Structure formats: C-alpha cells, structure tokens
Amino acid sequence: MECLPEIGVTGHLQGGNCHGAEKVNRIIKLLDGQDVCHITAYGDSAGDREMLAYADQGCWIR
C-alpha cells in the first residue's frame, strides 16, 4: 500500500497491481531480513496462490 507521510495510507497500491510471485517478492522486500517467526496470509484469488504457499499459514477465503 502507498503510504504518504502527510496523510498516511492512501488505499492505492505502491508500484501498481501485484499478483502471483510478485506478492511473495514484495513480502520479502517488506520484511528486509527481519527475524519473523510466523507468516499468516489470507487470499481470495488465483493470484494469491504463491503467497499462500509461501506463508507458514495460508487461509483461502471464498
């Protein structure tokens, strides 16, 4: 999500739409080497499959 210092989260995606493997790439970039013990992800489309597989706990929402 795009976040501007003067207003906070805008509701727009930073860098355009992302799906599939790009979601995993962005998670990895966001975590930037942080020591994370557990990742939970929620998804509702085919574009979420890679992210759900990457997470320790993936939850498919219909």
Distance of alpha carbon 15 from the chain centroid:
13
Q: Quick one: pLDDT band at residue 13, thresholds 50, 70, 90?
A: confident
Q: Residue 61 is encoded by which pair of tokens?
A: 């929402």
> Bigger pLDDT: 1 or 27?
27
Beta carbons of 14 and 22 less than 8 angstroms apart: no
CA distance 20 to 6: 31
Q: Tell me the pLDDT tens digit for each residue of 25-41.
A: 989 988 898 898 899 99
pLDDT at 58: 97
What is the residue-averaged pLDDT of the chain? 90
pLDDT at 25: 92
